[in-house]
Amino acid sequence: MFRNWLIYLKPSNKSQEEICAVKLRVLLTSLALLVINIQPIYAANPKYGDPCPKPNLVKTYEYITFICLKVNGKLVWTGKQESDSKTRAIDKFRKSSTYKSKLKIPSQIPTDFNNLYQNRKGIHYAAWKGLAKQIESSKPLLGSIEINIGPNTKPFFAPMTKSFEAVASLFGNFEQPKKLLIYQYSYSDINWVISDLKSKISQEDWDVAQKQDGRGKLVETNCQPDPNCIGSEVVSTGNNLAIMLLGIPNTINPFDATAKPKALEGMIEAHEYFHTIQDIPIRGNFTSNNLVPKNIDQKNQPPVWFTEGGAEWVQNAAVNYKNFSKYSDFIQIDCGQDSFCMPLQESDIRKYLSFSNQGSINIPNFDHYLAYNLGALIVEALVSIEGPNSIMKMYDELGKNLGWEIAFKNIYGTEWNIVYPIIAKTISANISEYL
């Protein structure tokens, strides 16, 4: 284009040539200035990694707070983070938010612990297929549910009863709580929750619930030490009453790839509802003076990875029982990539599982969150062999004060000491190969 234009302007004499030269210089200067002043086009809604106009600009979109920061010499939408982990946090979110499952429907699935390792790539599908069939073939038998929302609170997820129905269908053969009181609240509504809850339950139920919390601050705990209210909790009073307390944060954590599906798809609600079912076989009748279930010793409580890992697996199952791809994707962002699972070797997982017969304790020298994401993989492996009902059958057995080893053999037909090294080897291989 420029080449033909210059030919067209070619003068027939020197004076005209000089004039054209001046005009050309003016034109080229103008074009240069125009190029210099061209600004990138910024999208109306920020996305991680997209260009942004100026440093430290903050925008909120889809419940996520974005901040404009310079990364690798370019201004891009990221989020607030500690300076020493800025790059790692950004990279983690980018990877996880765009990650697509590499898992395919396997040709072989495990049928017992003898071929669990050999058919390890089929664990996810075997567990998912079993849970999907059970949910679709069962009818939920929910008890009375009362949902209370703080006057200043805007929940992320509204149709929570669908999550409850999926979990109730998954475990339709087991007792559900007769009454469930639910509170969704932000920091400014804490006092309102306390007042409203105390008006609806007895003083003894309140005392029991307070002491079950551990810190004696049942409602406040979900908003401590961060007033962003990121916690959630369920307590049972032992008289068929369960209380679910759901802290609602101001924004979703942008550096936890699991935070968005948990908050926006009903996973948190499913997770906590399963805890109410877990409690029933082992809780006994609590009183304000006796918070340990009468029918089970503390040492015979299920291991923490079984309790929390079971709920972590159930939340994914309840939300994604119609979509294997989404089910497997969540597993990969929960226990893959930069999670606490990644550095674990087979020996680490074996050591972790060796504490299973010591009741519900935090396992020394291991991050507490492994009870959730690593625990979910362990529970999933068990489900792939004996189906989802096996989880609750374990609670029935534990409620008889039998202890972990006897309960496990009764349900899974094999000694725990024989099985857990196989599970450790299997999960370690899956993590290293494709998680």
Spatial CA neighbour of 377 closest among 404, 342, 409: 342
**What CA dihedral angle connects 71, 76, 79 and 83, to 10 degrees?**
20
Q: Which residues contact 275 (CB under 8 A, 6 or more apart)?
A: 234, 307, 311
**What percent of the chain clears pLDDT 70, i.e. is strictly above it?**
76
C-alpha angle with apex 166: 279 to 375, nearest 5 degrees?
Answer: 55
Q: What value does the mean pLDDT of the chain take?
A: 80
Average of per-residue pLDDT across 37-49: 62
Question: What is d(CA 28, CA 18) in angstroms, rounded to the nearest whole number?
Answer: 15
Question: What is d(CA 315, CA 407) in angstroms, rounded to the nearest whole number?
Answer: 24
Q: How confident is the model at residue 290 (pLDDT cuts 50, 70, 90)?
A: low
pLDDT at 423 over 90: yes
CB 254 within 8 A of CB 79: yes
pLDDT in tens, 295-352: 566 667 899 999 999 999 999 999 999 999 899 989 988 887 657 787 889 999 999 9
Instruction: State how far the alpha carbon of 329 is from the alpha carbons of 45, 162, 261, 367, in Å.
Output: 25, 21, 11, 23
Which pLDDT value is given to residue 89?
41
CB atoms within 10 A of CB 422: 16
Average of per-residue pLDDT across 75-80: 66
Domain boundaries, the chain: 2-36, 116-137+296-435, 140-291
Question: What is d(CA 141, CA 174) in angstroms, rounded to the nearest whole number?
Answer: 10
Which pLDDT value is given to residue 82?
30
Instruction: State how far the alpha carbon of 78 is from the alpha carbons of 62, 71, 85, in Å.
Output: 14, 9, 13
Which pLDDT value is given to residue 379?
98
Q: Is 420 exposed, middle or buried (0-12, 13-18, 19+ CB in 10 A)?
A: buried
CB 272 within 8 A of CB 157: no
Which pLDDT value is given to residue 71?
67
pLDDT in tens, 239-275: 788 999 999 988 887 778 888 889 899 999 999 999 9
Helix axes 370-386 and 404-412, enclosed angle (nearest 10):
40
**What CA dihedral angle connects 29, 34, 35 and 41, to 10 degrees?**
180
Which pLDDT value is given to residue 381?
98
Q: Indicate left, alpha or beta for 414 from its phi (over 0: left) and psi (-120 to 50: alpha).
A: beta
The token pair that represents 261 in the structure block: 């599906």
pLDDT at 400 over 90: no
**Residue type for 367, please?**
D
Q: How confident is the model at residue 287 (pLDDT cuts 50, 70, 90)?
A: low
Spatial CA neighbour of 245 closest among 333, 153, 172, 162: 153
